[in-house]
């Protein structure tokens, strides 16, 4: 990814980062992440609690600004952009929602069964906010 001049995105890459780093008062939460996400592929970011996964997603979606590094989405440098502007480009995140469901009556049970495919889709999409088939 490093070359002479500015970071350039390959046509088949939808998301790229170079040396993405986030520090909080001297604590390094994300350290030098360089990644390339090919258009139409699915990726997952895994690791133990405290490894920086959420911070990395917050950097990619611009809820946090990097201490250093660059982010390209669809060929455009989004490093300095605001979250709403990045969302308008099509890079968004969803949040995992945990809920305890109260006892159901028959109508509630039926509504729960009807909504199950939508919940599965939301869980599937939440795995990879950087995935796009555009």
Architecture of domain 13-127: 3-Layer(aba) Sandwich (3.40)
> Which of 30-34, 50-54, 96-100 is least confident?
96-100
Q: What is the pLDDT of residues 114-128, one digit of tens each?
A: 666 766 665 655 544
Long-range contacts of 46-54 (CB under 8 A, 24+ apart): 52/22
Q: Output the average pLDDT for the chain.
A: 79
Q: What is the pLDDT of residues 84-116, one digit of tens each?
A: 999 999 998 877 665 555 555 555 666 666 666
Q: What is the pTM of this model?
A: 0.65
Residue 128: the pLDDT is 43
Nearest C-alpha neighbor of 64 from the set 93, 98, 35: 93
CA 104 and chain centroid, separation = 34
Long-range contacts of 28-32 (CB under 8 A, 24+ apart): 29/55, 30/55, 30/56, 30/59, 30/66, 32/69
Residue 32: the pLDDT is 96
pLDDT (mean) for 73-84: 94
**Spatial distance between the Cα atoms of 60 and 30, rounded to a whole number of angstroms:** 12
């Amino acid at each position: 990814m490093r070359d002479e001049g500015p970071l350039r995105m390959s046509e088949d890459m939808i998301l790229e980062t170079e040396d993405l780093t986030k520090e909080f008062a001297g604590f390094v939460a994300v350290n030098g992440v360089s990644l390339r996400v090919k258009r139409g592929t699915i990726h997952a970011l895994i690791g133990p609690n405290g490894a920086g996964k959420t911070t990395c997603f917050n950097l990619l979606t611009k809820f946090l600004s990097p201490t250093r590094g660059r982010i390209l989405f669809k060929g455009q440098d989004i490093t300095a952009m605001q979250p709403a502007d990045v969302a308008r480009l099509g890079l968004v995140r969803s949040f995992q929602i945990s809920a305890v469901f109260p006892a159901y009556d028959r109508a509630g049970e039926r509504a729960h069964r009807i909504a199950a495919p939508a919940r599965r889709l939301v869980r599937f999409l939440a795995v990879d906010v950087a995935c796009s088939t555009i």
